[in-house]
Amino acid sequence: MISYNRLMMTLLLAGALLAGKTVSAQWTGPRKKVEQRIDVKYGPLTPAHRTDEAMERFRTYGLGQFIHWGLYAIPGNEWEGVSARKGAAASEWIRTWSGPTAPKDWKNTYDNLYKQFNPKGFDAKLWAKQAKEMGAKYLIFTTKHHDGFALWPSKYTGYTIKKSPYKKDIVKQVVDAYTAEGIDVFLYFSILEWNNSNYMGKAPSTPEEKAKFNKFLEYTRNQLLELLQNYPQIKGFWFDGTWDQSWIQSYDFTYKLEKELREKHPGLIIGSRFRNDEFGKRHFDSNGDMLGDYEQGWERKMPKEFEWLEGRDWDCVMTIPPNGWGYMKDWSGIYTKTSDDLIDMLMNCVSMNGNFVLNFGPDGNGRMHPGEDKLAKEIGDWIKINGEAVYGVRHAGLAPSKLGYFTKKEDNLYLTVFNRPVNNIVRIAVPKNSAEVPVEAVLLQNGQSLALKRSDIGLDLDKNTYYDIVLPATFSADKAFVVKMKLGRPKGQSDQLMDAKM
């Protein structure tokens, strides 16, 4: 059976190949250096590393929540007892269901789902409260996914929440509720639309096509300005569906639009998935300069090495099932990530200066999946104890440890231990010339002080000094735990080891 992931990538790749273009950055290694810089007119509009308040705040989030909600929540990846797993790339892609398992006249059924969208159990305040309890500092919420259905009463299309029996503005309720909880809101917005007659995937060529697509571009601009006007509290946009040639060829329009959005909304944060340069280079322009404020390509994946990031800001958005962002009623027969998996990913991200964004897909009634409720609670319980190692921290500048992940804040160093050593010695390797070394250690969860000593283990050519922290044999933990260290000046030299003469 072909996996969702493979199917999704196949679809994306097929689209790109049909359009005669190669797929750019795949986030599988360090970026290639550009040999010679060329003149790029449609490059970045913002500095590679913004230092304003909004962006500094982005760097402290640590954990975010993604919510995919729309008409696809009604089927929940199945229809009349038949699973869409074999026929659609992901639950929120269910409109594209095809092949032998697809229901008859499925697209038409899907396009009429709005007539039954009436989530009586929806309470934005409950979601926001849960997100707060989980420890999320920002939310990315789908205002409109690829099906084009707007969860706000947009003036620019008839295909909105207003036409549903529910009627009320969902985006407003979500923005207000999360903002009231002190959680920053970012709006997910898909450019591509599957059933908008003015949209096309290929670059428009005839005058008729060009006129049509220009209408679509104007519509996109109107909707984005409308969102900024309606929900002025938002901190940014999370763009998607920007890979088609029609959009790629509209680089002059998208450049001006980004400029306009930023002018209208100072501090606005936009990721690298919004636009491309005049040579069709997405995420990074032809000179390798990032387009947008943070790297938006770490989707269901993470950099293996901190160095690959070259200091850039980034987020990692993650599903609980292998793939599938919208509601999936049936979680059986697939691996769904555990809170240990997710906390591991969270710490991996923050140890490399990234934010980890966990996706939820509420059902057609507005309720989270019971599995999501459970995970939110478990993550929240863990973060309440260990949050100090998560928020506002930076990469520690130490070589990765096999035991877990380092994070750092001022003169505090944290090691979140996922792999407890059998000898109970948490060994921290610090380069010999370090001005700062661990001088004190405690268990973050209860403040218990831990014995710490320096060990020169006598490895020839070793450039490190080791600080050994002893875990009490009586200490037991069934989840990851954090060793918090104070950093200070090294205390004098160790005794000279007897050197062999060779």
Q: Give the sign of the dihedral formed by CA 347, CA 33, CA 300, CA 267.
A: positive
Q: How far is the CB of 20 from ligand JFZ (least distance, A)?
A: 19
Minimum distance, C-beta of residue 240 to ligand JFZ, in the bound complex (Å): 5
Q: How far is the CB of 362 from ligand JFZ (least distance, A)?
A: 14
- Tell me which residues touch ligand JFZ (CB under 6 A): 8, 90, 92-93, 240, 297, 299, 317, 325
The whole-angstrom distance between residue 287's C-alpha and the CA centroid of its chain comes to 25
Q: Which is nearer to ligand JFZ, 27 or 466 (CB)?
A: 27
Report how far residue 494's alpha carbon sits from residue 484's, in angstroms, rounded to the nearest whole number.
24
Quickly list H helices, 59-169.
106-111, 124-134
| C-beta of 93 vs 106, nearer to ligand JFZ | 93
Question: For residues 8 and 413, which CB has a smaller minimum distance to ligand JFZ in the complex?
Answer: 8
Smaller CB separation from ligand JFZ, 67 or 161:
67
- What is the β-pairing status of strands 236-240 and 184-190? parallel
CB closer to ligand JFZ out of 90 and 358:
90
Shortest distance in whole angstroms from residue 317 CB to ligand JFZ: 6
Which lies closer to ligand JFZ via its Cβ, residue 73 or residue 487?
Answer: 73
**In the beta sheet, which residues pair with residue 317?**
299, 357
Q: What is the 3-state secondary structure (H, E, C) of 430-464?
A: EECCCCCEEEEEEECCCCCEECEEEECCCCCCCCE
Toward ligand JFZ, which CB reaches closer, 188 or 418?
188
SS3 67: strand
Q: Which is nearer to ligand JFZ, 299 or 388 (CB)?
A: 299
Closest CA to 73 of 13, 116, 23, 10: 116
Q: Name which of 7 and 426 has its Cβ closer to ligand JFZ.
A: 7
Q: How many CB atoms lie within 10 A of CB 220?
A: 22
Q: Give the shortest CB-190-to-ligand JFZ separation in angstroms.
A: 7
Residues in CB range of 456: below 8 A, 6 or more apart: 465, 466, 494, 497
Nearer to ligand JFZ, 66 or 127 (CB): 66
At closest approach, how far in Å is the CB of 327 from ligand JFZ? Answer: 13
Report the nearest approach of ligand JFZ to the CB of residue 25 (Å): 9
Closer to ligand JFZ at the Cβ: 29 or 421? 29
Q: Shortest gap between Cβ of 273 and ligand JFZ (angstroms)?
A: 7
> DSSP string covering 200-253, please?
-SSPP-SHHHHHHHHHHHHHHHHHHHHHHHH-TT--EEEEE---SHHHHTTHHH
Output 325 or 414, the one with its CB closest to ligand JFZ: 325
Q: Are 392 and 375 in contact (CB under 8 A)?
A: no
357, 66 Cβ separation under 8 angstroms = yes
CA distances to 87, 92, 102, 103, 190 from 107, in Å: 13, 13, 10, 9, 19
Least separation, in Å, of the C-beta of 90 and ligand JFZ? 5
Exposure of 357 by Cβ count < 10 A (0-12 exposed, 13-18 middle, 19+ buried)? Answer: buried
Residue in this structure with the two tokens 């922290």, named with its chain if needed: 469
Closest approach of ligand JFZ to the CB of residue 434, in Å:
38
Task: Report the SS3 class of residue 110.
Answer: helix
Q: What are the DSSP E strand ranges found in 231-366?
A: 236-240, 269-270, 295-299, 314-318, 354-360
Any idea which residue has 């909304």 for tokens?
265
Min CB(192)–ligand JFZ separation in Å: 9
For 107, 392, 462, the CA distances from 302, given in Å and listed in that order, are 35, 19, 30
Smallest gap from residue 244 Cβ to ligand JFZ (A): 12
Q: 170 or 487: whose CB is closer to ligand JFZ? A: 170
Residues in the chain: 502
We find the least distance from the C-beta atom of residue 14 to ligand JFZ, in angstroms, to be 13
What does the alpha-carbon distance between residue 197 and residue 383 come to, in Å, rounded to a whole number?
47
Q: What is the Cα–Cα distance from 124 to 170, expressed in whole angstroms?
A: 8
Asked if 166 and 118 touch (Cβ cutoff 8 Å), the reply is yes
Of 150, 248, 152, nearest in space to 200 by CA: 248
